[in-house]
Amino acid sequence: MMLYLIPVVVLGLIFGSFFNVVIYRTPIFLEGQFKKKNQPSLLNQLAWPTSFCTSCKTKIHWFDNIPILSWIALKGRCRYCHKTIKIRYCIVELLTAVIFSYSFLKFGFSYITIYWIALFSILVILFFIDFETYYLPDFFTFSIIILALVGSYFQITQIALTDALIGGFFGFFVLYFVNFIYKTIRKVDGFGGGDFKLLAGLGAWFGWPSLLIIIGISSVLALVFILLMTLIIQRKFQLNSMLPFGPFLILSGLLMYANTYLNFGLFQAYL
């Protein structure tokens, strides 16, 4: 199996490069939809034009588009305009390579490997889209819900289908009602609709008993993030400040995965 690990890692890096395109272009597509602009479909926008610098719009040649290596060779700057290229490009490529190699080593050549690669990859895409733009696109959040239910039905995950359905239902409505109360009091949304659907997907993935733990961990992570931003860059957060909650839900979901599938035993007493 180790013989095939190198091509699996390379494949992961290539997909990670494509995921960066998805992360950058999907919010642009959504903005166009909100403004009711006539535009090509999302698939067309992902396929064309070819990769370009987001600052000067110059086409990126193949030798400047090699995952991780090109970013290092260019010292994180565009060859033409010398503007900074986000470190996120390297991080996504590296994370995707880790996802591919981990899933392959754990499950080998099987449909289960493809299942977990798809699930983790969508989480990576959602994490960075929400972190950068505050969007959690329905296509990806609904995909998490569907994958979680399919995994439960075919016994890929460790959650009974009934518990997955209940988890999805309560995962959506618990944040919905919290947001309803917050909006009633402060006249603004506390959460976005994407957060409801993402938590529904996590509830379907880990079952309804996990919901309070996921919400609790997410809230703590968000508070730690706010504290760090306040201390490091002196950014003050007000009650009406925008904060992407999706990344913290995703990190909580990954902790739940470690607890459930890697036997970390973090929350056994509470599940």
The pLDDT tens digits of the residues spanning 45-80 come to 888 888 899 889 899 998 899 999 999 999 999 999
Residue 30 tokens read as 């959504």
153 and 122 within one domain: no
The mean-pLDDT minimum among 86-95, 210-219, 241-250 falls in 241-250
Q: Flag whether pLDDT at 162 surpasses 90.
A: yes
Q: Does the pLDDT at position 271 exceed 90?
A: no
Distance CA 217, CA 188 (A): 24
Are 102 and 209 found together in one domain? no
Number of other residues whose CB lies within 10 A of the CB of residue 73: 12
Domain end point (choices 78, 102, 135): 135
The token pair at 184 is 């009633």
Q: In this predicted model, which residue has the larger pLDDT, 8 or 271?
A: 8
Q: Residue 103: pLDDT band by 50, 70, 90 thresholds?
A: very high
> Is the predicted pLDDT of residue 206 greater than 90, yes or no?
yes
Q: Are residues 150 and 112 in the same domain?
A: no
Q: Which residues of 111-145 are buried (b: 16+ CB within 10 A; e: fewer)?
A: eebebbbebbbbbbbbbbbbeebebbbeebbebbb
- Give the structural domain span for 78: 1-135
Same domain, 45 and 167: no
**How does pLDDT run across 253-265, given as a tens digit for each residue?**
999 999 888 876 5
Tell me, what's the pLDDT at 3?
A: 77
CA–CA distance, 136 with 94 (Å, rounded to integer):
22
Shared domain for 3 and 72, answered yes or no, is: yes
Domain check: are 165 and 98 in the same one?
Answer: no
Domain count, the chain: 2
153 and 83 both lie in a single domain: no
- On whether the CB atoms of residues 1 and 105 are closer than 8 A, the answer is yes
93 and 157 in a single domain? The answer is no
Q: Which two tokens stand for residue 69?
A: 């290596």
Q: How confident is the model at residue 20 (pLDDT cuts 50, 70, 90)?
A: very high
Other Cβ atoms closer than 10 A to 150: 16
CA–centroid distance for 186 within its chain: 29
Q: Which one of 110, 135, 160 terminates a domain?
A: 135
- The answer, yes or no, to whether residue 226 has pLDDT greater than 50, is yes
Quick one: 171 and 257 in the same domain?
yes
The pLDDT value recorded for residue 2 is 73
Higher-confidence residue of 230 and 15: namely: 15
Identify whether residues 8 and 126 lie together within a single domain.
yes
Last residue of a domain, one of 135, 165, 191: 135
C-alpha span between 248 and 165 (Å, rounded):
22
pLDDT at 269: 45
Say whether both 260 and 201 belong to one domain: yes
CB 164 within 8 A of CB 170: no
Q: Is the dihedral of CA 116, 122, 125, 126 positive or negative?
A: negative
Per the omega criterion (within 30 degrees of 0), is the bond before 27 cis?
A: no
Same domain, 113 and 196: no
Average pLDDT over the chain reads 90
Residue 143 has pLDDT above 80, yes or no: yes
Q: Give me 35's structure tokens.
A: 């403004």
Can you tell me the mean pLDDT for 226-241? 70
Q: Report the C-alpha gap between 21 and 191 in whole angstroms.
A: 26
